[in-house]
Amino acid sequence: MSEQAGPPEDYKAPQLGGPGASDYERYLRTDELLSLQKTADEWAHRDELLFTTVHQTSELWLKFAAGEMDEAARLMEAGEISAAVRLMRRAVLALDYVTSSLEMLEKMSPWEYQEIRVVLGHGSGFDSPGFRAVADTTRRAGRAFNRLVAGAGLDLVELYQRGREFEQLYQAAEALTDWDERIWIWRFRHYATVTRSIGEDTKGTQGTPVQVLGKLIAQRQLPELWKARATLVERFDAQERPSA
């Protein structure tokens, strides 16, 4: 005798706990997420939603990127170089998303932006948790990588000269260079966006001149990776070559 089939499963009925009409909403906590922005009757200007969306999503991507880099640093500390490189590449892509989102801010009118600027208080990108986390985890990753290079009996220049012998270390060096380059590009695009909005001869929300922000762009988080390239040029040019 065959068993009697139970009632058909209702795939629209949520199985997870918490607020929300569906499991999608409950898992992603969309009610909470979408309530984190001002409502229309609270806006100083309707572009506040654009401004908030760019910055809140950027903080999420920066949180993810910093987390990937921190785990990559831990993996390098454990000698797991290939696994670290894979995560560093994901972190680099996350920074690309942060940088590209700045284009949305450039779609705001520089005049109408002033209505938003006056309600920011002393809010500044220098206080971004994501910005600080990126700096912290970059230093950790740099230290872990440098220890690996030293442990292989190399310096950075030698690593690049003998890259095929130390392929994993070479790939880690290039992934870190990609990461540092993306930080530089992100900071430059941020500076360009600020300049487009309020000009260069203006002070920001914390009283810092925009020109100072421009000068900070030249800083590298991992300067040794860039100095090694200059040394490679010097060593290559110093080689004796057979005369024609």
pLDDT in tens, 190-233: 989 988 888 877 766 656 677 777 777 878 999 999 999 999 99
Q: What is the pLDDT of residues 18-70, one digit of tens each?
A: 999 999 999 999 999 999 999 999 999 999 999 999 999 999 999 999 999 99
**Residue 149 in contact with residue 156, Cβ under 8 Å?**
yes
pLDDT tens, residue by residue, 157-189: 999 999 999 999 999 999 999 999 999 999 999
Looking at the domain assignment, is residue 35 inside a domain? Answer: no
Tokens representing 44 are 């100083």
> What Å distances lie between residue 238 and 159, 163, 225, CA to CA?
18, 20, 20
> What would the pLDDT profile of 94-107 be if each residue is shown by its tens digit?
999 999 999 999 99
Q: How many CB atoms lie within 10 A of CB 225?
A: 20
In a domain, 9, yes or no: no
- Using CA atoms, how far apart are residues 136 and 114, in angstroms rounded to an integer? 33
- Per the structure, the complete domain to which residue 225 belongs is given by 42-232
pLDDT at 1 exceeding the cut of 80: no
Task: State the first-to-last Cα distance of the chain, in angstroms, to the nearest integer.
Answer: 95
pLDDT above 90 for 240: no
pLDDT digits (tens, 9 = 90+) for 84-142: 999 999 999 999 999 999 999 999 999 999 999 999 988 787 789 999 999 999 999 99
Is 25 inside any structural domain? no
Please list the alpha-helical segments (H only) found in 106-222.
113-117, 129-151, 156-161, 167-198, 210-216
Q: What is the DSSP letter of 243?
A: -
- Kindly state whether residue 76 falls inside one of the protein's structural domains: yes
Is 237 contained in some domain? no
Three-state DSSP state, 21: coil
Give the count of domains, the chain. 1
pLDDT above 70 for 5 = no
User: Does residue 130 belong to any structural domain of this protein?
Assistant: yes
Indicate whether 61 belongs to any domain.
yes
Dist. CA 178–CA 123, nearest whole Å = 29
The pTM assigned to this predicted structure is: 0.89
Find where tokens 């894979």 sit: 86
Q: How far apart are CA 86 and CA 160, in angstroms?
A: 20
CA distance 137 to 77: 13
CB 222 within 8 A of CB 176: yes
34 is a domain residue: no
The distance of Cα 193 from the centroid of its chain, to the nearest Å, equals: 17
CATH number for the domain including 152? 1.20.58.480
